[in-house]
């Protein structure tokens, strides 16, 4: 009886170990992803970085987005499987647009000035085209089984607010720079990006790209 118990325990541990290994391998395959336009204008990126330095001088509790990671998100997809990557890419290739200019202008916060959680750079010229791309993607992504995105606001996140420390100084700075002009970029390549999180910040890599 004791021997049988030892044998049963051995095989139970063996199969549990295999199950955990299978679950961990599947979890490691999952891809946190989004569809976006990258900012490929060095002068504009430098201007954003300069504004970020000024934001830090407000002594607000901010976590800056690395200038190399700043992008225009069209659609956050969440966690998808490797198989879904190719399906999303096929959807991207059905989007109709011609390369267009985007003008980045002004600072603002989400959700409100009374409770700022995100500092963003605004988009004036090109906002309508970006919305159109989102509206083309949305029903096709929903058909793939992805949860619907309720709304689209064209912007670039440049900082996240961690607490209410020196909130008024932050809001005053943003208010004074509501018309600040960052510059223009050309939107000509839609990219499916992977986001890998780490204690030092996310790393973004391009999985697929589509240029009409």
The per-residue pLDDT for 15 is 52
| Interval 136-170: pLDDT, tens | 999 999 999 999 998 899 999 999 999 999 999 99
Domain boundaries, position 176: 30-210
CATH, residue 67: 3.90.1140.10
| 154/131 Cα distance (integer angstroms) | 7
CA distances from 184 to 66, 129, 166, 178 (A): 19, 14, 31, 17
Local confidence band at 8 (pLDDT 50, 70, 90 cut-offs): low
Residue corresponding to tokens 């290994």: 21
Mean pLDDT of the chain: 90
Classify residue 12: in a domain, yes or no: no
Classify residue 195: in a domain, yes or no: yes
Classify residue 107: in a domain, yes or no: yes
Q: Is 177 a catalytic residue?
A: no
Q: Is 142 a catalytic residue?
A: no
Q: Is the pLDDT of residue 25 over 80?
A: no
Of 38, 52, 60, 71, the catalytic one is 71
Local confidence band at 21 (pLDDT 50, 70, 90 cut-offs): very low
The per-residue pLDDT for 172 is 97
Q: Which backbone phi and psi does 170 adopt, to 5 degrees?
A: -65, -50
CA distances from 203 to 30, 67, 139, 200 (A): 15, 12, 28, 9
Q: Would strands 71-80 and 62-64 be described as parallel, antiparallel, or unpaired?
A: unpaired
Say if CB 125 and CB 103 are below 8 A apart: yes
Between 190 and 200, residue with greater pLDDT: 190
Classify residue 119: in a domain, yes or no: yes
Bridge partners, 104 (sequence order):
123, 183
| Across 66-93, average pLDDT | 96
Classify residue 85: in a domain, yes or no: yes
| 146/141 Cα distance (integer angstroms) | 6
Q: What angle do CA 116, 118, 124 make, to 5 degrees?
A: 110
Q: Is the pLDDT of residue 13 over 80?
A: no
Classify residue 7: in a domain, yes or no: no
| 103/181 Cα distance (integer angstroms) | 8
Q: Is the pLDDT of residue 24 over 80?
A: no
| Interval 100-128: pLDDT, tens | 999 999 999 999 999 999 999 999 999 99
Classify residue 11: in a domain, yes or no: no
Q: pTM for the complete prediction?
A: 0.83
Classify residue 166: in a domain, yes or no: yes
Of 58, 80, 121, 155, the catalytic one is 155
Domain count, the chain: 1
């Amino acid at each position: 009886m004791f021997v049988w118990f030892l044998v049963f325990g051995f095989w139970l541990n063996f199969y549990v170990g295999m199950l955990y290994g299978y679950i961990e391998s599947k979890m490691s395959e999952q891809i946190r992803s989004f569809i976006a336009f990258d900012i490929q204008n060095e002068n504009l990126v430098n201007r954003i970085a300069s504004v970020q330095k000024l934001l830090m001088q407000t002594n607000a509790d901010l976590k800056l987005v690395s200038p190399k990671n700043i992008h225009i998100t069209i659609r956050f997809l969440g966690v998808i499987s490797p198989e879904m990557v190719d399906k999303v890419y096929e959807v991207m290739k059905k989007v109709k647009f011609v390369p267009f200019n985007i003008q980045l202008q002004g600072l603002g916060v989400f959700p409100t000035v009374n409770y700022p959680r995100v500092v963003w750079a605004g988009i004036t010229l090109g906002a309508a085209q970006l919305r159109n791309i989102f509206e083309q993607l949305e029903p096709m992504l929903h058909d793939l089984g992805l949860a619907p995105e309720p709304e689209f606001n064209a912007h670039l996140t440049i900082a996240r607010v961690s607490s209410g420390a020196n909130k008024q100084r932050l809001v005053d700075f943003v208010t004074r720079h509501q018309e600040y002009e960052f510059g223009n970029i050309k939107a000509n390549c839609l990219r499916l990006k992977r986001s890998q999180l780490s204690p030092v910040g996310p790393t973004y890599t391009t999985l697929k790209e589509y240029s009409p």
